[in-house]
Amino acid sequence: MKKAFILSLAFALSFSLMQSKTIQADEFSGKEDEYISLCSSATLTKSKEKVCKRFNKYLKDKTSNLKSSINNSKADIDKTSNNIEETNKKVEELTDRITELLKQIEYYKVTIQNYQNEIDTKVKQIGSRMYSMQSTYNTNAFISYLLESKSISDLYSRLASLGQLTSYEKQLAEEIEQKKKEKQEQVKAMTEAQIKLAEEKKKQKELANHYIELKAQQQKQLAEQQQLKSKYNSAQSKVDAALEAMYERDRASRVTYSGTVGKGSATGRAIASAALTQLGHRYYWGATGPTYYDCSGLVYWAYNKAGIGIGRLTAAGYAASGKSVSRASLSPGDVITFSYGSGVAHIGIYIGNDHFVHASGRGSSTHGQDPNQCVKVATLSGRWTSFVHNYRRLY
């Protein structure tokens, strides 16, 4: 039962996330220019913060998808270019084979003509003999008999029957005729092969042209994708800047401290004053300013801003640095470290009058997304006092 409940809960959560992405896409799809104008406005108001943050997320997702699409398009173009190269190579190979075949065909045609010339010569010689016989015997019977021949072989057979062709002449004539036929068959076969090669060459040329057109389309698509990605990147920067400007205006009006820095050394007061100039700046795990801070990052920035060059340490690192001071001896610029039971986890800067300034956040899970997790002033009393680990002077 419990397993079925967990599975149904997981499915519901997955479905909810899918719906959220779909809704976000539907909300802004086709309206990008409208929201770019709205969310990059220099007068962006708090009332538009949520929709503009969603739109900024939408732009980042679109940019990420475009980056993937651009990589795919480049891969497609490379593949098509290879196809064009391979197809053109095949066309060249086919052209060479066709050229070679045509040369062979021409050569065999010349050979066939030579054989035919030999046959014609033989026929003329035989014709001369026949005319001699016709004159001798005063009859056309010989000529008529020979004219009825159905082929050159038949002609030679009839001549042989008349005793006018030696066996050698007959054999030679038949060999010539056979060679002629063989060459004619070869020419026929090569001509058919040449036609097939020409058809294949035509197909390959058409395929090459197809690939060339496809490449042009792919290059056009790539250019559009790159242009759109550039547009969205630019829009993201503008929306980020507009949101940041709005946060800064909101920070200046929302996070304030009406008190003053307490009495102390000029150095300590300079450190405390520097930290107070950053009121409202958001907490971001690992940040050291000047836009975002974590707790130890604020200490590092304020000290260095006041001219005290200290290294970048964690709260625990600063808790073991400098010299120890008592609660009664606290002076502006001193640091207060806190432990929640498992080691030093937080640090602030004392500003006098039982107050301290600190970058308040939820640790590694906070990355500037919460305007309430920011640099602020707190009173050193109540729960804060119960969590104090030690007090240190780092200058």
Annotated catalytic residue within 295, 355, 374, 389? 295
Q: Residue 283 and residue 373: Cα distance in Å, rounded?
A: 6
Structure token digits, residue 160: 């042989």
Q: Pick from 60, 62, 82: which is nearest to 70 by CA?
A: 62
346 is an active site residue: yes
Is residue 153 within 8 A of residue 177, CB to CB? The reply is yes
Of the residues 52, 281, 346, 374, only one is catalytic, namely 346
Q: Given 39, 52, 281, 358, which residue is catalytic?
A: 358
The question of whether 281 is a catalytic residue gets the answer no
The residues annotated as belonging to the active site are 295, 346, 358
